[in-house]
Amino acid sequence: MSSEKESKSFAVVNCSQLVTLAGPARPRVGPEMRELGIIADGAFLVRDGSIAEVGTSEQIKARINADCDVVDACGSVVLPGFVDAHTHPVFSGTRVDEFEERIKGATYAEIAARGGGIQSTVNATRATHDDMLLHVSWHYTDWFLRSGTTTIEAKSGYGLSLDHELMILRVIKKLGDETDLRYIPTFLGAHSIPPEYRSRREQYVSLIIEEMLPAVASQKLAEFCDVFCEQNVFTIDESRKILSAARLHGLALRIHADQLSLSGGAKLAAELGTITADHLEHTDAEGIAALKSAGVQPVLLPGSVYALGSSHYPAAREMIDAGLAVVVATDFNPGSSPTPSMHMILSLATTQMKMTPAEAITAATINAAYSLNRGAQLGSIEPGKVADFVIYECDDYRELTYFFGVDRVWKVYASGRLVVEHQY
């Protein structure tokens, strides 16, 4: 174990670009998304797991005393750890068989309609037990950390019964307690109508409202509630009922909206004042205007568009130009987006959604942190924030969006502790 791994106080010096994301204490909009607060030849001090001081290498070197270790970034870029604001990371099995079927022409919706899709992962997840689920999910924890992500929002949604949803949320809690990755839990019992309720769907909605939400809230197993609002999944009325009930239980709201069709999800998000509306591939100008007037943050998930073989990306440019505080995330899940890599998402955000490298990085860090009610703690390298940061083996931050299919992570720190080190 290196001394920097154990030390309580250390300085990181000689960062070619220290990408601080320092700025106003709120999500960044419009041209602010292109302001990264870069300090050339930057440095910072870490004390007790938090950022203590930030400046140039010259300024910080003058503050180093005998108790302070030094980490030489050797002319590398340093960024805050990525905050991945939309993932489904606890599930059993894969869907490689369906992946191959889609390549041969079947659509995601067709596979779901015949009982595959989300339901096949639900079947596999229900058939396992919590230890096994923990073991598999732990493996994915390492994938996130190794690619520079230090916080994820983690949804349930592959259980769809009271006991199985609670099992998944307990696994998420355990992962957050026992690994170096920060997990922020979301209850997604409304991910799909399970087959046993298909002919009496209103009873599944009641089960969510009357049994699942009270249990999740009283056991403090989630901060957010999400609903998959879509044709043939949860209707606008059902989504409104579930999210309104969740709010009464003290949960903050997110929604899968307008992913496969323009189903009115963005407008519902605006009506309810959810914190985020996620996906939005089919949201139109009216939906964008509604999100803007309600202050809802869009969470864009280009990995799911890419992996489903579509080219129907959400209108990120219009959203930024309209002044929305855009977030990008992986949507890591076994069906529509099997990637934990925010690097891949940055590549798609820039090449396919025409976000600039700076906008994409803002969307993956500080804006994502605000979308999880963590803007005061995470998402930037500023005094008082948690020392979650990543040293990359490159000297220009734009390389993170330009090279793709290659990992540029050198060292990852979570709460000031070295948790990943790659050799180059």
- Give residues 255-314 in contact with ligand NIG (rule: CB under 6 A): 256, 259, 304
Q: Which residue has the tokens 């869907």?
A: 95
CB-CB contact of 302 with 353 (8 Å)? yes
How many binding residues for ligand NIG (CB under 6 A)?
Answer: 14
Pick the binder of ligand NIG from 88, 182, 254, 343 (CB under 6 A).
88
Collapse the DSSP code of 194 into the 3-class scheme (helix H, G, I; strand E, B; otherwise coil) and give the result.
Answer: coil
**Residue 87 or 350 with smaller CB distance to Fe ion:** 87
Q: Does 118 bind ligand NIG (CB under 6 A)?
A: yes
Place of tokens 């905050």: 83
- Any contact of residue 335 with ligand NIG (CB under 6 A)? yes
121 is a site residue for ligand NIG (CB under 6 A): yes
Nearer to Fe ion by C-beta: 258 or 331? 331
- Residue 110, C-beta contacts closer than 8 angstroms, at least 6 positions apart: none
Nearer to Fe ion (CB atom), residue 29 or residue 154: 154
What is the C-alpha separation between 241 and 186, in angstroms, rounded?
Answer: 17
Nearer to Fe ion, 238 or 331 (CB): 331
| Interface residue with ligand NIG, options 141, 333, 347, 371 (CB under 6 A) | 333
* Chain residues in the site for Fe ion (CB under 5 A): 331
Decide: residue 177, CB within 10 A, 0-12 exposed, 13-18 middle, 19+ buried: exposed
Candidate segments 44-52, 116-124, 133-141, 145-153, binder of ligand NIG by CB under 6 A: 116-124
**DSSP 8-class letter at 24:** -
For residue 239, the partner it binds in Fe ion, ligand NIG, none, with Cβ less than 5 to 8 A by kind, is none
Q: Contact 43/15 with Cβ under 8 angstroms?
A: yes
β-sheet with 149-155: strand ranges across:
82-87, 149-155, 182-190, 224-227, 252-253
Minimum gap (Å) between residue 129 Cβ and ligand NIG:
20
Number of helices (H), then strands (E), in the chain: 18, 16
Beta carbon of residue 271, minimum distance to Fe ion (angstroms, whole number): 21
Please identify, using beta-carbon distances, which residue of 121 and 150 lies nearer to ligand NIG.
121
Tabulate helix, strand, coil % of the chain (nearest 5): 40, 25, 35
Told to check if 334 binds ligand NIG by CB under 6 A, we report yes
Q: Which does 118 bind (CB under 5 to 8 A by kind): Fe ion, ligand NIG, none?
A: ligand NIG
Of the candidate residues 153, 226, 258, 331, the single one contacting ligand NIG (CB under 6 A): 331
List the structure tokens of 112.
Answer: 């779901």
**Using CB atoms, what's the residue nearest to Fe ion?**
331
CB-CB neighbours of 110 under 10 Å: 13
Does residue number 47 form part of the binding site for ligand NIG (CB under 6 A)? no
Given the rule CB under 6 A, which residues bind ligand NIG? 88, 117-118, 121, 228, 256, 259, 304, 331, 333-337
